[in-house]
Amino acid sequence: MPFVTVQIAKGHSVDQKRELAKALTDTLVSTLGTKPEWVTIHIDEFERENWAVGGELHSDKPGKGGKHHT
């Protein structure tokens, strides 16, 4: 009974999340031989201001919805 948690930044559409859940479920079914009804997908969304790479908040990076601080 696979349980998968996917962490993504907020901003994806419901349709994208449906596609993600379907693709992950199909992959687990084909790889593990489990039944689709046994697969649980949990999508955990977070704000870009709560995510940093290289010491810089993702929300502050150019093109990511924030201002670039130099």
- Secondary structure string (H, E, C) spanning 27-66: HHHHHHCCCHHHCEEEEEEECHHHCEECCEEHHHCCCCCC
CATH code that applies to domain 3-60: 3.30.429.10
pLDDT in tens, 34-61: 999 999 999 999 998 998 999 999 889 8
2 is catalytic: yes
Q: Are 6 and 40 in contact (CB under 8 A)?
A: no
- Is pLDDT above 80 for 68? no
Tell me which of 1, 2, 37, 60 is the catalytic residue: 2
Sign of CA dihedral 59, 63, 66, 69: positive
The whole model's pTM is what? Answer: 0.78
